[in-house]
Structure 1
Amino acid sequence: MKKLKMLFISILVIMTINYVTTGSNLVYADDDFEKYYENHEGVKGEDSYEDIGEAVGWGTVIAMIIAGLIYPIRRSMKLVITNFPGLKKMFISISRFFGKYHIFIGIIALVLSIIHGIFMYLSEGELESEGIIGLGAVGLIVIASIVGSVLFKNKKVKSLRTTHTILIVLAFLVGAIHIFVS
């Protein structure tokens, strides 16, 4: 378990260093007709809001996927353990890891989605159709998180677990529509 944590932390550090060192040095060769240079005024701030908003939006998608991995891992636990007994210890530790950090990663996904919405609103200046769809997805995530917090206290209530799962799946589908419309 300690090795898995260290692996995730080292991947995060490598990705952060990669983004910090190369993120600001991007060059686009397809803007031949738009003459925006270093001293051009008015465009830089809006573009940066949009770039930050898009990056945070993809972070939201990644956090939702990671938080949702607990479902297929726990559903396939019995199948994997019976068919591959050598992987039992590793699979149980992976399941415990995702079970331990599921709530934390879910909260990160919610916070990132709100930050994404704020930055995209600042970039656009108004709430357009794709923003309304994204707002619906965030609303579903908020409702699912409320149900999830009640589920955390009452783990034996199966209807709460089903409601939480259905709401998250709906939020993911509405979020996918939001991505494809944007």
Structure 2
Amino acid sequence: MKPWIDLARYREVRLSEALSEVELANKFLELNLVRNAAGKVFQAWKALLGALAVDVRDELARVFNRDIELEDRVIKEVDYVIALIPTTRMREIARIIETRYPGTYSNTLLALELHRYRYNGPDPEGVLSIYRSDKDALIDLEKLIDTIKTTIKRIKNNMKSRISILFKR
């Protein structure tokens, strides 16, 4: 699903993707595959950022304001960024989302550290990773998993509330 086609549907798909990635992360954790779980939690966070970015599209458009040629058409850079949530732009995107969803920036930094850990593994010296052991990484993994689930639940409850208000009119 491309955000420049249907933002609401895009949000739903990204929320579903985030939950699926969290499920896979939990399965990896059951098998004690902590680094694999870290990769899945990172992907879940990226998907969640994509869903949250829909709500701050106008604010993001002030920063990502070019036109991009893609598939023989021109789209807005903001929609391209929302679709991909490039790893190199996650901090910048999260700062903007933070205005509406507090905690997004710090959780994005956590996700990026878990991403680094995924590729470099634990590092007892703390040079390539802030995690000295898999056990250290597991603490942050569980925290981010909980945050993702809680955030998605809150978003879905808000969506249900808005729908019920519409039908009461």
TM surpasses 0.5: no
TM interval, short-chain normalised? 0.3 to 0.5
Tell me the TM-score normalized by structure 2.
0.41
The structure having more radius of gyration, on CA atoms, is 1
Higher strand share: 2
